[in-house]
Structure 1
Amino acid sequence: MAIIAQLSDIHLAAGRDGEVDDGSGPVRALRAAVSSLLSLPARPDAVVITGDLADGGRRAEYARLHALLSPLPMAVYPMCGNHDDRDELRRVFADHPEVTDTGTSPQAPVQYAVDVAGVRLVCCDTTVDGHAHGHMSEERLAWLDGTLGTAPDTPTVIATHHPPYPIGMRFIDDLRFVDPAGFAAVVSRHRQVVRVISGHVHRASVGSLAGTVSTTCPSTYRQLFLDLTSQGRAAVTGEPAGFAIHLIGLDGSATTHFAPTGNYRPLMDVE
């Protein structure tokens, strides 16, 4: 079984001086998330970060992120969100070959596949330059189709920033994954896909795509207000930050847990 932790929507932000304040909310929140992962009785085999690593796509933000993630002993796989800059991400995470070997152009999609304890993690780039919504071009879909086709018998998790299903929150659905039909068609052709995981929503949700369970992850920083009305107020809440843990069996089973950040200890044993 592979244990894959998912962090998302970290939003490290540099100030007017171009530096990231170590006392800022996003920094404190990420430290808490890293500490929480390290305190788990069963440590994850890998950590995937499903986008919006930086708030402004600045090099200083990625540099601070790189340092804050350094206590994690397992592999860390960063992905782009609509707030990120591919070129700056590649520059700072040059020690991550899966990020730097994804194209000759600085703004080529950051997309790659890696093995994690016998299962496959396929990271897709759904970002659209200069826009907040998500989309996968025909070229990106062809890459995904070909990548999935090389390991048809290996249980696979697909990661995106934008969720490919409607959330029901107007503010988020206005910034949705545009035209996910092509993505769904690719997923439906590959039966080994056992989970599609995404960020962008700043809260946990569970949906479906082409017969596959699809989930979103809480933000390590701030959660969005759950307003399901047609007006859909865009606001953040005081809900706790969190992360997701995905348990992927070599037999194709898949279970997802959502946990708040914090080092929670057993209060008592339950018989």
Structure 2
Amino acid sequence: MMLAQISDCHVVEPGRLLFDRIDTAGHLAAAVAHLNRIGPDFVWVTGDLVDSGRPAQYAHLRSMLDRLEAPYAVMPGNHDARETLKAAFADHPYWREGPGNLHYAIEDLPLRLIALDSLVAGESGGRIGEAQLAWLEAKLGEARKRPTVIAVHHPLFASGIVEMDTINLADAEALGAVIERHPQVERILCGHIHRPITARWHGTVVTTAPSVAHQVALRLGPKDPVSWIMEPPACQLHRWSEDSGLVTHQSCIGDYGPMTPFE
């Protein structure tokens, strides 16, 4: 199975640019075309779908995501608005019934996918909360031998990008205590930080995805301000097989010339 992950689309209204400079819709359209050429089995969009949570932004986002040839699922990040997001994708089958956090499980793929909702309205940092952690514990307990991938928008560990580390997942250690009890969790996928990072964490592996538009600059000094930079947009491809487990590739989006065989 090939699971593609795109993240941090930050789509705004048609005809607008983010920061008056970044064509996030154009970048997302390029990412969709890129994935259609690759042909993944499923696409997961791991938060910050739009920039301000407005209905027109979600309509614009959906008009592009619906061009994906693979089935896909979405989940919220800190720039999203829960009810507006869910209304825009109301026909998607994975949502749990009723109001509240937008966490869910997808059960009909070779990998079991569990999305956690870390959005705290009005804040940049994230939190899962006790009720959602209890739901996760129960869900993982239902299928202890099924390989599982969890997605949560906010990172779980300090990256060294100091200002971004202040807006990680606040209750990451409580989540870690749950994960330690469930070795079938093959990977935890995050977004938010607009960079590809890998860390061993509480008995599993956590990866963060780059943005399909702009990146956060890699500045690791203790007083470096957080900055954005137009490094190449990219997605991540998580290839699962029973023989090799879960292997992750980064796939840059853009025209880098033809593939040339080695001679």
Normalised-by-shorter TM-score class: over 0.9
Is 1:4 aligned with 2:28?
A: no
Does the CA-based 8 Å contact 2:196-2:207 persist in structure 1? Answer: yes
Within 1, Cα distance between the matches of 2:187 and 2:180?
A: 12
TM-superposition CA deviations, 1:61-86 (whole Å, max 9, x none): 11111110112121111000000001
CA apart distance, 1:252: 7.0
Give the aligned partner of residue 127 of structure 1: 119
**Aligned positions of 1:26-105 closer than 5 A:** 26-40=24-38, 43-99=39-95, 102-105=96-99
Count of residues in correspondence between the two structures: 259
TM-superposition CA deviations, 1:5-28 (whole Å, max 9, x none): 0000000113xxxxx227760011
The one-letter code sitting in structure 1 at the alignment partner of 2:209 is C
SS at match of 2:223: coil
TM-superposition CA deviations, 1:208-255 (whole Å, max 9, x none): 211211000000110011111111311111211111011122357111
Within 1, Cα distance between the matches of 2:23 and 2:200?
A: 33
The one-letter code sitting in structure 1 at the alignment partner of 2:8 is D
The RMSD of aligned alpha carbons is 1.7
SS at match of 2:145: coil
SS at match of 1:36: helix
CA apart distance, 1:269: 2.2
Give the aligned partner of residue 167 of structure 1: 159
The one-letter code sitting in structure 1 at the alignment partner of 2:42 is A
Unaligned runs of 5+ in 2: none
The TM-score, its normalising length taken from structure 2, stands at 0.93
**Aligned positions of 1:186-201 closer than 5 A:** 186-201=178-193
SS at match of 1:98: coil
Within 1, Cα distance between the matches of 2:68 and 2:23?
A: 20
Does the CA-based 8 Å contact 2:36-2:70 persist in structure 1? Answer: no
Does the CA-based 8 Å contact 1:119-1:250 persist in structure 2? Answer: no
Does the CA-based 8 Å contact 1:158-1:197 persist in structure 2? Answer: yes
Does the CA-based 8 Å contact 1:35-1:263 persist in structure 2? Answer: no
Within 2, Cα distance between the matches of 1:59 and 1:263?
A: 32
Does the CA-based 8 Å contact 1:152-1:190 persist in structure 2? Answer: yes
TM-superposition CA deviations, 1:114-140 (whole Å, max 9, x none): 136411111111111221111111101
Within 2, Cα distance between the matches of 1:78 and 1:265?
A: 31
Give the aligned partner of residue 203 of structure 1: 195
